[in-house]
Structure 1
């Protein structure tokens, strides 16, 4: 399952949740295909004023949105893995800019966080232990 956690200043997020979630889900489906749409998990983390700092200083202006994209490691180790990574970063950046404002595009941070099947568990079992369907 692709998991996207978006950290953003609450003031930037308020009222934009649904369009941002839709845009991020569309972005993942555009790269992976429609089969992935029902598997996309999006968590929006709105940080209140005074709870975002850079270099020890509270950010008073718009903070750069950060997206952590949990992805199975196998998707990035395939021969086309580098292309998938580029397409995901571009599509997620486009989605955040569309949802929160084009002015933020150059500051959007997208972190692809690959996880090996033997390091991720769902329902109390490692993914690597699941029987193939």
Structure 2
């Protein structure tokens, strides 16, 4: 299940939640197909400005960061490099569509693979 966690300054995020969730879900669907829409999970975490630091001091206007959890098997596919590139580009474009072009150069997208046998839903271990 694609799982995106977005961290952004609370003041930047406030009022944009619905638009951002929709744009990120659309980015996932663009790569995986319509089947992924119903299982894509987006969590938005808003941080107060004084709780985000860069270079040893509070950041003035950091770009959002995204951790994108996916099944690690995606990295073993023959088209893995293409999938990774498309996910990073699509997620970045979705963030930029909501927050504006000013954030593009700093948006980070980290794809994190989890083995299926280390994933559970509803108290039950997932099976391949």
TM-score interval for Structure 1 and Structure 2 normalised by the shorter chain = over 0.9
1:14 aligns with 2:11: no
Equivalent residue runs for 1:1-133 within 5 Å: 1-59=1-59, 61-128=60-127
Report runs of 4+ in structure 1 exceeding 4 Å deviation. none
State the Cα distance separating 1:126 from its structure 2 match.
2.0
Taking the aligned partners of 1:123 and 1:89, their CA distance within structure 2 comes to 29
SS in 1 for 2:51: coil
- Determine the C-alpha separation between the residues in 2 that align with 1:119 and 1:56: 35
> For the residues of structure 2 that align with 1:64 and 1:100, how far apart are their CA atoms?
9
- Cα distance in 1, alignment partners of residues 112 and 33 from structure 2: 20
Q: CA deviation at 1:125?
A: 2.5
Q: Deviations over 1:55-98 (max 9, x none)?
A: 22111x21121000000011221111111000000000000000
Q: TM-score, normalised by structure 2?
A: 0.95
Let me know the Cα RMSD of the aligned residues: 1.1
Distance 1:106 1:55 in 2: 17
Q: Compute the TM-score of the two structures, normalised by the length of structure 1.
A: 0.92
Which consecutive residues of structure 2, in runs of 5 or more, have no partner in the other structure? none
